[in-house]
Amino acid sequence: MKIEMISTGEEVLSGQIVDTNAAWFANVLMDNGLELQRRTTVGDRMEDLIDIFQERSKQADVILINGGLGPTTDDLSAEAAAAAMGVNLVEHTGWLEHLEGWFANRGRIMPESNYKQCLLPDSAILVDNPVGSAPGFRLKLNNAWLFFTPGVPYEFKRMVEEQFLVFVRETFGVTDPTRLAKLVTLGHGESTLADQLTALPVPPGITLGYRPSPPIVEIKVFARGSAGIQAMGDYVFQVKEALGNAIVTDRFASIAEEVHTLLVEQQQTLAIAESCTGGMLTSQLVDFAGSSDYLLGGLVTYANATKESILGVATDTLAARGAVSLETAAEMAIGARRQLGSHFALATTGIAGPDGGTDDKPVGLVVIALCDGEHCWVQAVRLVNRTRSLVRIMSCAVAHDMLRRRLLGENPIVDYPFIERRDMQVLNSS
């Protein structure tokens, strides 16, 4: 079965928004053992829409179309589908009553523009939208079933999960099983990882892929068919052996989620002091429900005066060593831990850029500290040729990785071949 997707909308094609629906859809297909073969993106232009419906419906078996079902003038999907079919748009009385009722229940009159959403191509089958005003619909054109869905993400997702997948399973039966394992690495390059794995024969039914997505490089092991799935466990084990401590998590998509889970599992608490990362280190943990169990607080002390007043960093340290120094980072971590009474504390201070660097302390220099009740591990790394945003993202990854290693009883400071370390120190934290 050939599944394709057509994303519509000037705002997707023109890059005003990133097509997260498309990424989500392909992921869900894979989780269900289905595979997307092609995705096409076109704008809100009537002739382009009609062309693409005609063209792809001759090649594919089922096509998920996303977007263009809203109430405004640039929403053209239903009209284009009718034109491609050579039929008229007709009023769907059931949906009109549903919409009028929905507005009436909220004490409002249905806006004029929503009437448009009750017009579907003649003979199209309505696909219920339980959470929005735009109904979906499906129709058969040439060789393919076209399945139309709205662009609003939570409406789209509900309709795919509750209706599209059911429709595909019932209409086409099940295909070859697939499975995907992901190993996240930090501080290594795609080509050096690949070189470390060339000696390892890839079993039939297994595909190996690399996805560099700063701060990490993800290694993907795809298995297709029963041979692949059978070989998978053993092969993944060998890959892990070969890569050793380059792998920072094999169960989550990010280091932050691994740290979150370890803190919850081990019932340990954390305090965070941030300068250049500016709340990002804290926010990456608050992303996960349950972070309130261990995260006692995050103190973004951007100004030197705040480092003194909130964290108790010594005026002398700031004067003698500067805000970006091993000593200041250590005092920030120790101060945050003391202030909040946590088991662990992380601190970052650095020069995110694009300005503010000196010869001695260039843009991209970041100092990261981790302390527990006994020790404070501090390292200064230099992140060259990175944007402001990327300096902050990489710094958070290294900080979380230090805590992750400490929680696993390993040395928090390790060599990352692709991250330059300028300096390091292990101090007493008292």
CB of 238 to a copy of itself, least distance (A): 17
Stretch that binds a copy of itself, among 120-128, 139-147, 242-250, 301-309 (CB under 8 A): 301-309
Q: Output the six-digit token pair for 390.
A: 């990327």
Residue 143 makes CB contacts below 8 A (sequence gap 6+) with: 57, 58, 59, 60, 61
297 or 322: CB nearest a copy of itself: 297
Q: Are residues 344 and 406 in contact, defined by beta-carbon separation less than 8 angstroms?
A: yes
> Is the peptide bond preceding residue 354 cis, with omega within 30 degrees of 0?
yes
Per CB under 8 A, does 33 bind a copy of itself?
Answer: no
Angle at 281 between CA 220 and CA 375, to 5 degrees: 100
117 or 317: CB nearest a copy of itself: 117
CB of 278 to a copy of itself, least distance (A): 3
Q: Output the six-digit token pair for 421.
A: 């370390």
Q: Radius of gyration (Cα) for the chain, nearest Å?
A: 27
Binds a copy of itself by CB under 8 A, chosen from 133, 149, 254, 379: 133
Per CB under 8 A, does 53 bind a copy of itself?
Answer: no
Q: How far is residue 80 from each of residues 50, 172, 208, 222, measured CA to CA in Å? A: 5, 26, 40, 37
Residues paired with residue 126 on neighbouring β-strands, in sequence order: 137
CB of 163 to a copy of itself, least distance (A): 19
CB of 118 to a copy of itself, least distance (A): 13
Per CB under 8 A, does 24 bind a copy of itself?
Answer: yes
Stretch that binds a copy of itself, among 90-98, 165-173, 259-267, 287-295 (CB under 8 A): 287-295
DSSP at 189: -
Per CB under 8 A, does 128 bind a copy of itself?
Answer: no
- Residue 266 CB neighbours (<10 A): 11
- Determine the Cα–Cα distance for residues 202 and 228; give it in Å rounded to an integer: 10
CB of 274 to a copy of itself, least distance (A): 8
Q: Which residues between 140 and 159 bind a copy of itself (CB under 8 A)?
A: 151-152, 154
CB of 360 to a copy of itself, least distance (A): 19
Q: Which residues between 171 and 230 bind a copy of itself (CB under 8 A)?
A: 190-192, 194-195, 198, 207-213, 218, 220, 222
Helix (H, G, I), strand (E, B) or coil at 289: coil
Per CB under 8 A, does 300 bind a copy of itself?
Answer: yes
Residues touching a copy of itself: how many (CB under 8 A)? Answer: 102
Helix (H, G, I), strand (E, B) or coil at 121: strand
Stretch that binds a copy of itself, among 67-75, 85-93, 371-379, 405-413 (CB under 8 A): 67-75
189 or 427: CB nearest a copy of itself: 189
CB of 40 to a copy of itself, least distance (A): 5
Residue 137 makes CB contacts below 8 A (sequence gap 6+) with: 78, 81, 120, 121, 124, 125, 126, 127, 148
Alpha helix locations (H) across 161-268? 165-172, 190-197, 225-243, 255-266
CB of 51 to a copy of itself, least distance (A): 9
Binds a copy of itself by CB under 8 A, chosen from 388, 414, 421, 426: 388
CB of 82 to a copy of itself, least distance (A): 21
- Determine the Cα–Cα distance for residues 2 and 296; give it in Å rounded to an integer: 51
Per CB under 8 A, does 354 bind a copy of itself?
Answer: yes
Per CB under 8 A, does 66 bind a copy of itself?
Answer: no
Per CB under 8 A, does 93 bind a copy of itself?
Answer: no
Per CB under 8 A, does 165 bind a copy of itself?
Answer: no
Name the nearest CA neighbour of 272 among 315, 223, 311: 311
1 or 286: CB nearest a copy of itself: 286
Q: Which residues between 230 and 269 bind a copy of itself (CB under 8 A)?
A: none
Give first-to-last CA distance, the chain, whole Å.
65
